[in-house]
Amino acid sequence: MEVARFWRENQSRYNMQGKKCGACDIVYFPPRDLCPKCRRESIGKMEKIKLSGKGVVISYTEVHDGLPAFSMQVPYTMAIIELEEGPRITGQIVDVEPGEIKIGTEVESVFRKLGQEGECGVIHYGYKFIPKP
Amino acid sequence: MREVAIIGVGETKFGELWERSFRDLGIEAGFKAMEDAGIAGDDIDAMFVGNMSADRLIDQEHIAPLIADYSGFGERNLPSVRVEAANASGGIALSQAYMSVASGVHDVVVVGGAEKMMDVGEESAAEILASTADQEWEAVFGATLGSLYAMMARRHMNDFGTTKEQLASVAVKNHLNGSMNPDAQFQRAIKIEMALNAPMVADPLGVFDCAPLSDGAAAVILCPWEDAKKYTDSPVKILSCGQAGDYMALHDRPSLTRMDATIEASKKAYKYAGIGPNDVQLAEVHDAFSISEIMAIEDLGFFEKGKGGKATEDGETSLNSKISINTSGGLKAKGNPMGATGVGQAVEMTLQLRGEAGDRQVKDAEKGLIHNVGGTGSTCIVHILGRGF
């Protein structure tokens, strides 16, 4: 896969940059150019916003049958997290023991390796989550 | 709008069909449907083919003319269209074909659905399935399709008290129904302990909570209702279709425990057919995962939200009970060859409404609903079919 496919998303995957609708103040992650609530009203009013990465677990699962890129990590925990600014996001929760995560667990984002292209290819980085210390 | 009939149906066996190629499967299903309709190639005006991922599964793009050609339509210059909507590709192929006949553009149309999944390894198949969710913001972080449905299941259990036994009872029922379907991938009944003790896929979902990978194809023939009696004494009428969409990623939707696309699609289908959920005796619903069947029977209006698990456990969705759900065995036991799945649902419903479903026949089946979902619920298509004779 071409490197551009990954680096064009880096602002969001590295820095958790989303968008806020200037018309209704709803925050979106990943960034959107159009607010699904305001639609036409939002054109030209979607402003960049950096998110805190703090949130709570809405649901989670321990993945035993994982994707090939994550096969060394099984079982790994995936979760849907509601960030304090409002948007929900899908991410991996790391540095946890099985059973440690519950619905409602507070988490925060960390910067981690997501994967790499083959043995000596480009390494991709982005957010994962850990329980709030 | 013209009324539309299904005048012929056919399907291959679903399963691990190592000796059969993609084109073998598509052609077998199409021929069976044409034989069933008693129709010749010269009568066909167009072909619609539901297919999710031939490009990644068999390295073949442009599969509609391929199937049309090997079905003998090369000399006839028949128009053919591939329709892709993930696991709902077959259902959407049916709706597109239905609209083309209803509108008067075409008269006699073949709707096919075909998928060949066994030519890639399980790991590649898992990647392809995950890409029916949002590749850049779900799968890239490690989310499999099963893990996303597992998060729906976790939340459903948390909010409504749904149990693992209730999830397992979906598999037990569907395997029992599958044992009466000669086309099903799995034709053996199972005990609930087998499902409960199966290895985990993404907890709380184990192997028996997940539909298998399958090869298979299915086809139905449509024509205007007014012409149907020319071809068959037992036409089935398409009473309505309703389609709806939703946010692509599960995390962007307001609720993890319902599918708004199912709710909206079925509202349209009920409205156009002039009936409600209590007027259908049976339904083929999209049980790609056990939790999907439980959510579907709630979202389609058969049971109150949160009561789907209990209803299944209590046998209310078993064959010839309150409402017979997934008489074919569903995706779980009949099999889930992605693009063929939705067309296969139409095959099952047609056999049921004609009274030709053998041991799994629903008594006095007059109207039935078929429900096909793409991704984690970003596409849903519902058709309502009725006995026409």
- Asked if B191 and B93 sit in the same domain, the reply is no
Q: What is the pLDDT of residue A3?
A: 80
Average pLDDT over residues A93-116: 95
Q: What is the mean pLDDT of each run of 10 residues along chain B (389 residues)?
A: 97 98 97 96 97 97 96 95 98 98 98 97 96 97 98 98 98 98 98 98 98 98 97 97 98 98 98 98 98 98 98 98 98 98 98 98 98 98 94
Least CB–CB distance from A65: residue in B138, B202, B256: B202
- Which of B199, B231, B263 is the endpoint of a domain? B231
Q: What is the pLDDT of residue B364?
A: 95
Question: pTM for the complete prediction?
Answer: 0.98
Cβ of B151 and A128 within 8 Å?
no
DSSP string, B276-318: -GGG-SEEE---SBHHHHHHHHHHTTSS-TT-HHHHHHTTTTS
Q: Which residues in chain B have their CB less than 8 angstroms from residue A88's CB? A: 251-252
In a mutational test of the A interface, the residue from B140, B164, B250, B289 whose CB has the highest number of chain A CBs within 10 Å is B140
Contact call for residues B109 and B48 (beta carbons, < 8 A)? yes
CA B82/CA B96 separation, integer angstroms: 10
Least CB–CB distance from A68: residue in B127, B136, B251: B127
Contact call for residues A27 and A51 (beta carbons, < 8 A)? yes
From-to residues of CATH 2.40.50 in chain A: 4-15+52-131
- Asked if B318 and B363 sit in the same domain, the reply is yes
- Asked if B84 and B146 sit in the same domain, the reply is no
Q: Where are the beta strands (DSSP E) in chain B?
A: 4-11, 46-50, 80-83, 109-115, 200-202, 205-206, 216-224, 236-245, 282-284, 324-325, 367-374, 379-387
- Asked if B89 and B48 sit in the same domain, the reply is yes
State yes or no: cis peptide before B224, omega within 30 of 0.
no
Domain that holds residue B31: 4-121+214-231
Q: Which residues in chain B have their CB less than 8 angstroms from residue A36's CB? A: 247
Q: How many CB atoms lie within 10 A of CB A5?
A: 11
Q: What is the ipTM of this complex?
A: 0.97
Cβ of B256 and A80 within 8 Å?
yes
- Taking one residue from A and the other from B, the number of pairs with CB-CB distance under 8 angstroms is 98
Structural domains of chain B, count: 2
**What's the gap in Å between the CA of A47 and the closest CA on chain B?**
19
Chain A residues interacting with chain B (CB cutoff of 8 angstroms): 9, 30, 36, 58-71, 73, 75-76, 78-80, 87-92, 103, 114-115, 124, 126, 128
- Asked if B144 and B266 sit in the same domain, the reply is yes
Residues 6 or more apart in contact with residue A84 via CB below 8 angstroms = A52, A54, A55
pLDDT tens digits for B71-101? Answer: 999 999 999 999 999 999 999 999 999 999 9
Contact call for residues B65 and B80 (beta carbons, < 8 A)? yes
The chain A residue lying nearest B200, using CA atoms, is: A64
- Asked if B192 and B64 sit in the same domain, the reply is no
- Asked if B206 and B227 sit in the same domain, the reply is no
Residue A4 has pLDDT above 90, yes or no: no
Q: Which residues in chain B have their CB less than 8 angstroms from residue A87's CB? A: 252
Residue B55 class from Cβ within 10 Å (0-12 exposed, 13-18 middle, 19+ buried)?
Answer: middle
Average pLDDT over residues A73-85: 97
Strands ordered across the beta sheet of B80-83: B80-83, B46-50, B109-115, B216-224, B4-11, B236-245, B379-387, B367-374, B282-284, B324-325
Q: What is the pLDDT of residue B131?
A: 97
Contact call for residues B315 and B321 (beta carbons, < 8 A)? yes
State yes or no: cis peptide before A68, omega within 30 of 0.
no
- Asked if B65 and B182 sit in the same domain, the reply is no
Q: Which residues in chain A have their CB less than 8 angstroms from residue B136's CB? A: 9, 30
Residue A7 has pLDDT above 90, yes or no: no
Residue A121 has pLDDT above 70, yes or no: yes
The chain A residue lying nearest B158, using CA atoms, is: A103
- Which of B181, B203, B231 is the endpoint of a domain? B231
Residue A22 has pLDDT above 80, yes or no: yes
Looking at residue B366, which CATH number applies to its domain?
A: 3.40.47.10
Q: What is the pLDDT of residue B141?
A: 97
- Asked if B203 and B282 sit in the same domain, the reply is yes
In a mutational test of the A interface, the residue from B136, B149, B151, B205 whose CB has the highest number of chain A CBs within 10 Å is B151
**Nearest residue to B308 via CA among B115, B163, B114, B204:** B163
CA B2/CA B4 separation, integer angstroms: 6
Top CATH class of A4-15+52-131 equals: mainly beta
Q: What is the pLDDT of residue A1?
A: 66
Residue A8 has pLDDT above 80, yes or no: yes
Polymer length of chain B: 389
How does A92-107 read in b/e, with b if 16+ C-beta sit within 10 Å? bbeebeeeebebebeb
Q: What is the pLDDT of residue B237?
A: 98
- Asked if B206 and B222 sit in the same domain, the reply is no
CA B209/CA B196 separation, integer angstroms: 9
- Asked if B188 and B319 sit in the same domain, the reply is yes
- Asked if B248 and B289 sit in the same domain, the reply is yes
CA B348/CA B76 separation, integer angstroms: 30
- Which of B178, B203, B231 is the endpoint of a domain? B231
